[in-house]
Amino acid sequence: MRILIYLIAWGLVAAFFVAPLGHLVTLPNFDQYMEILKHENTIKAIKNTFWVSLSVGLVCVAIGVPLAWLLTRTNIPSKDSLRSWFCLPYAIPPYVGAIGWIILANPTSGLLNTVFGLNLNIYSFPGLVWIESSFLFTFVLLTTLTALDKMDSSLEEAARLSGANGLQVFRDISLPLLKPAIFNGFVLSFLATAASFGVPAMIGGPARIYLMTTQIYTFQRMGTTQGIQMATAVSVLLMITTLILLFSAQTTIGKQKTYLVSGKSVRPSLIHLKNSKVPLLIILSLLLFVIFALPLLGVLISALSTIQGSWSFSNLGLGNFVRVLFETEETARAIGNSLFLGFGAALICTSISFFIAYFPVRTTWRGKNMLGIFASVPFSTPGTVLALALILTFSQGYFGAGPSLYNTLGLILVAYVVKYMSLSIKTVQDGYSLIHPSLEEAARISGASWWATLQTIYLPLLKSSLIASAFFIFMPVMGELTMTILLTGPGLETVGTLIFSLQEYSDVGGGGAAVLSVLVVGIVFSLNFALKKISKGRYGL
């Protein structure tokens, strides 16, 4: 029974997670690569992708590392709530930020320009870098926070007793020891920028800064064979660079060393910020305001404004809400589709993970770890690339067998499951590793079969992990845009694609995209809050 399930798991992973991407790689021939490398726009897109991602990565480190240190090692007030507020952007789709910033800082009618007389232009390289960074710094923040939480704090205390003050301890001890974590955070934010679609499309388009993902989208939308070929070649390039970068980062500088694990858990002694406490608190609040509150405020104002770009109280009203929610026929369908996809993906991923995550923790079978690694490849692959690979695999049935999934919700569901499965497996696997093997052994000795053990021992004990896993899938799916935009079609709108089309062309008066963004942010916030409550703080931001 166990072996059968194990083999089925391998079959699923091979067929859905590995084969489509493998197939994609074999499609373009050498000449096509040469052709795209001669194509002026493509070269420009590659260069832009590199420079934007690099800048975002560096800004993220500059924001995330000092922040993580302040929030764990000093006596700055209300640390816990600051910590969750700063981590929250992790859960919000970055294109919501783009919509907010377009309202605040577009060159013609941005509110910061018209009302406060500033001269900002969000449609620019710095604008693009800022919006991406204001979300993706959470990658650096989270990796650094985790490392600091795990780090043996006596390493830092020993330095203080040697006579080093707070900043000297940071420079001489914490920073060198955090190098792997910081580097990993940098690579993650770099790659997330390279893989992002919404922000580059909304900001980069008007600014004429095209990235590889937006280029792939343009090629694919051409609808011609040549277009698909070009899209495929750029995709393979993007995917291979991403995977190589990720792999080499994790095996070199980013390799976590074991000395970070503490022997005895003592609360770390905190560094006293005396005179700098109030100024730092003000700086952090301002930063939080600019990163988080300001763009959301922009979205909210836009959603409530009858006429976009002008500011007065008489201009505020619920007209946009009424129009978008009740008078636009796509909206109900989009919300329905997103809910169906969210519940569907959460249910499928969590059920499959319940089985897959068992093997690496509880068996010593050959390839047990490879199962999880292969299943995580699509998660590391840029969404645009994954979507294209799935289209090419499923458009005429599965490699030519069975019905075509192209232009169906089914293919979007497959894409979500394949993309986010890794989150679910990791969560459930952590759950398994907290359960002592003797519990299973005791059940087996009592006469329970393996299947009965799963049902009567593991299922109840893993309840909180499974619930968390469902949340972790549902949340990103509710706002997903990068993959869906390539897979959608008439009648297949989701909340993400509807926001995109309202923002880009179909909502003439404006404000419609903002209304739905408010909805997405509201859903994400309440889910995160619910998860935190249910799990008593173990999961959630």
Partner 1 sequence: MSCKFQNVGKLFPGNIWAVKDFSLEIKGGEFVSFLGPSGCGKTTTLRMIAGLEENTHGVIQIDNDVVSDPKNKKFLPPEKRHVGMMFQSYAVWPHMNVFKNVAYPLKFQNLSKSKIKEDVTAVLKTVELDGLESRKPSELSGGQQQRVALARGLVMKPRILLLDEPLSNLDAKLREKMRRDIRSIQQQLKLTLVYVTHDQKEAFQMSDRVVVMNKGQIEQIGTPSQIQTEPKTPFVKEFVEVGR
Residue 239 interacting with partner 1 (CB under 8 A): no
- Of 164, 245, 288, 316, which lies in the binding site for partner 1, with binding defined by CB under 8 A? 164
Smallest gap from Cβ 144 to partner 1, in A, equals 17
Residue 155 interacting with partner 1 (CB under 8 A): yes
53 vs 459: CA distance, rounded Å: 42
What SS3 class is residue 451? helix
The radius of gyration of the chain from alpha carbons, rounded to an integer in Å, stands at 24
Residue 152 interacting with partner 1 (CB under 8 A): yes
Residue 252 interacting with partner 1 (CB under 8 A): no
43 or 158: CB nearest partner 1: 158
Which residue in the block uniquely carries the two structure tokens 């969404």?
383
Query: Are the C-beta atoms of 417 and 386 separated by less than 8 Å?
Result: no
- Of 26, 108, 119, 176, which lies in the binding site for partner 1, with binding defined by CB under 8 A? 176
The secondary structure of 328-367 as a DSSP string is -HHHHHHHHHHHHHHHHHHHHHHHHHHHHTHHHHH---TT
Residue 408 interacting with partner 1 (CB under 8 A): no
Residue 330 interacting with partner 1 (CB under 8 A): no
Please choose, out of 138-146, 192-200, 245-253, 265-273, the segment that lies near partner 1 by the rule CB under 8 A: 265-273
- Of 43, 62, 266, 322, which lies in the binding site for partner 1, with binding defined by CB under 8 A? 266
47 or 171: CB nearest partner 1: 171
351 vs 368: CA distance, rounded Å: 18
164 or 281: CB nearest partner 1: 164
- Of 114, 154, 380, 404, which lies in the binding site for partner 1, with binding defined by CB under 8 A? 154
Smallest gap from Cβ 529 to partner 1, in A, equals 25
What are the Cα distances from residue 350, in Å, to 93, 354, 465, 473? 22, 6, 9, 8
- Of 162, 224, 248, 456, which lies in the binding site for partner 1, with binding defined by CB under 8 A? 162
Determine whether 346 is exposed, middle or buried from the number of CB atoms within 10 Å of its CB (0-12, 13-18, 19+): buried
Query: Are the C-beta atoms of 310 and 388 separated by less than 8 Å?
Result: no
What are the Cα distances from residue 162, in Å, to 74, 172, 265? 18, 12, 21
Residue 157 interacting with partner 1 (CB under 8 A): yes
44 vs 37: CA distance, rounded Å: 10
Smallest gap from Cβ 181 to partner 1, in A, equals 14
In 3D space, the residue among 505, 502, 532 whose CA is nearest the CA of residue 514 turns out to be 502
250 vs 256: CA distance, rounded Å: 8
87 vs 146: CA distance, rounded Å: 12
Smallest gap from Cβ 259 to partner 1, in A, equals 5
Which positions from 272 to 311 touch partner 1 by CB under 8 A, shown as an x/- string?
x---------------------------------------
Determine whether 389 is exposed, middle or buried from the number of CB atoms within 10 Å of its CB (0-12, 13-18, 19+): buried
177 or 334: CB nearest partner 1: 177
Smallest gap from Cβ 72 to partner 1, in A, equals 15
- Of 2, 23, 79, 160, which lies in the binding site for partner 1, with binding defined by CB under 8 A? 160
Residue 158 interacting with partner 1 (CB under 8 A): yes
Smallest gap from Cβ 248 to partner 1, in A, equals 21
- Of 29, 41, 78, 165, which lies in the binding site for partner 1, with binding defined by CB under 8 A? 165
Of residues 15-44, which lie at the interface with partner 1 (CB under 8 A)? none
Which positions from 195 to 234 touch partner 1 by CB under 8 A, shown as an x/- string?
----------------------------------------
Q: What angle do CA 68, 73, 79 make, to 5 degrees?
A: 70
Smallest gap from Cβ 22 to partner 1, in A, equals 40
Smallest gap from Cβ 164 to partner 1, in A, equals 6
Smallest gap from Cβ 176 to partner 1, in A, equals 5
Please choose, out of 29-37, 102-110, 159-167, 197-205, the segment that lies near partner 1 by the rule CB under 8 A: 159-167
Query: Are the C-beta atoms of 225 and 51 separated by less than 8 Å?
Result: no
Residue 259 interacting with partner 1 (CB under 8 A): yes
Of residues 460-519, which lie at the interface with partner 1 (CB under 8 A)? none
Dihedrals phi, psi of 287, to nearest 5 degrees: -60, -45
179 vs 119: CA distance, rounded Å: 38
39 or 179: CB nearest partner 1: 179
Instruction: Give me the long-range contacts of 392-395 (CB less than 8 A, separation at least 24).
Output: 392/20, 392/23, 392/24, 392/27, 392/228, 392/232, 393/19, 393/20, 393/23, 394/20
What are the Cα distances from residue 432, in Å, to 428, 436, 460? 6, 8, 12
Smallest gap from Cβ 114 to partner 1, in A, equals 49
Please choose, out of 168-176, 206-214, 398-406, 483-491, the segment that lies near partner 1 by the rule CB under 8 A: 168-176
Tokens of 393: 């695999």
Q: Which residues bind partner 1 (CB under 8 A)?
A: 152, 154-155, 157-165, 168, 172-173, 176-177, 257, 259, 262-264, 266, 269, 271-272
